[in-house]
Each structure stands twice: as C-alpha cells, then as structure tokens.
C-alpha cells in the first residue's frame, strides 16, 4: 500500500504491539524488558505526514523483565509508581525521511518529567486483513538518558547504564 492509501485514524493492536527497552548492566548481560499494558491512537496523513500525530499511555506498573525482585524495584524506586502510574508520549511533529522511514518527535513523560524525544520509525508492512481492516506495522527506536527523567537510585550508581534503548514494534488498525 502507498503511504497516501494509509491516511486515517488508528488504534494500537495491543496483541501485536511490543513496547520494550534494553539497559546495560555493568555486572551482567543487558537487561531487557517490556510493558504489558498500554493504549494508543494515531492519525496518519499519507499525503502530508507532518500532519500525523500519535498518543500513547503506558501503565508503568506493567513493566516486566521476568525478574520479580527487579520488577518491584523498577516499579517502586525507579518509576515511583505510587505517584506516577503512567508513562505518556504525545507527538509534537512528524517528518517523512524516505518512502518508508519517518521521524516522530514528541513529549515523553516519565515520573512527572516531560522531555522531548525523537523516535525513528520504519514502516515494515501494511495490508488489509481477512476482516477488511487495514493494518500498518512500524518498527521504531530511540535512546534516552534515564537520568534526564529522574529515573535513578543511589544504590545503582555504576551498576545500571544511564542510556536506555526504547524498542517499539507497533501494529495499528485503521478505524472505520
């Protein structure tokens, strides 16, 4: 499908979307995780991608690294879940780089701190499913410094790298 044919309003297909992250741990392998609960919507303007926009809300308590002790520490000490139950992203600009590559800039809010982030996205597919719905697939990434959002804890100084790679595998369904 052409970019112009994809114009419309979309919601995230939760079952086919992954919002993950990777952080370096200095005394072991990289820590990989993801968020299990989130919702999002987008408006794609295929004729003028700069008019596209995205909103995403992640339930911070749904963080999952498959290590219960680490997950509890991330929820409490790092994300301050009691005071900040959600992580949000609201786009402020979009730019088409080439036929299938885009840059999406927006405000990422973690722990009540809002900072700009640019996410590079590649459209990796688009099709009409057997039910007649249009599905579009994107893969995106960005690297952030967790300390810029106040995500730190003194006991981890030197143990967890400050850079966190965000990994997004997104499927969105066009609304009729």
On the question of pLDDT at 154 being above 60, the answer is no
Token pair, residue 73, equals: 């520490």
- Mean pLDDT taken over the chain: 91
pLDDT band at 27 (very low <50, low <70, confident <90, very high): confident
**Distance, CA of 143 to CA of 72 (rounded, Å):** 23
pLDDT of 56-68, one tens digit each? 999 999 999 999 9
Q: Given the DSSP bridges, would you call strands 101-110 and 86-96 parallel, antiparallel or unpaired?
A: antiparallel
- CATH: 3.55.40.20, 2.160.10.10, 2.40.128.110, 3.40.640.10. Which one for 4-174? 2.40.128.110
The counts of H helices and E strands in the chain are: 1, 11
How big is the chain, counted in residues?
176
pLDDT of 97-150, one tens digit each? 998 899 999 999 999 999 999 999 999 999 998 989 999 999 999 999 998 998
Per-residue exposure over 120-137, b if at least 16 CB sit within 10 Å of its own CB, e if not: ebebeebeeeeeeebbbb
Specify whether the CB–CB gap between 37 and 12 falls below 8 A.
Answer: no
pLDDT band at 155 (very low <50, low <70, confident <90, very high): very low
């Amino acid at each position: 499908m052409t970019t112009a044919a994809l114009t419309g309003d979309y919601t995230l297909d939760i079952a086919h979307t992954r919002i993950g992250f990777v952080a370096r741990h200095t005394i072991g392998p990289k820590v990989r995780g993801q968020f299990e609960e989130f919702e999002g919507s987008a408006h794609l303007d295929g004729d003028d991608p700069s008019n596209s926009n995205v909103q995403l809300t992640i339930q911070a308590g749904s963080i999952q690294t498959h290590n219960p002790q680490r997950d509890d520490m991330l929820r409490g000490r790092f994300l301050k879940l009691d005071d900040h139950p959600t992580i949000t992203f609201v786009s402020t600009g979009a730019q088409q780089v080439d036929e299938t590559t885009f840059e999406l800039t927006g405000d990422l809010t973690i722990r009540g701190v809002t900072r700009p982030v640019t996410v590079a996205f590649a459209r990796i597919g688009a099709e009409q499913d057997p039910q007649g719905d249009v599905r579009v697939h994107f893969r995106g990434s960005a690297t952030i410094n967790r300390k810029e959002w106040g995500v730190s804890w003194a006991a981890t100084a030197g143990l967890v790298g400050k850079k966190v790679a965000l990994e997004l595998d997104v499927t969105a369904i066009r609304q009729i």
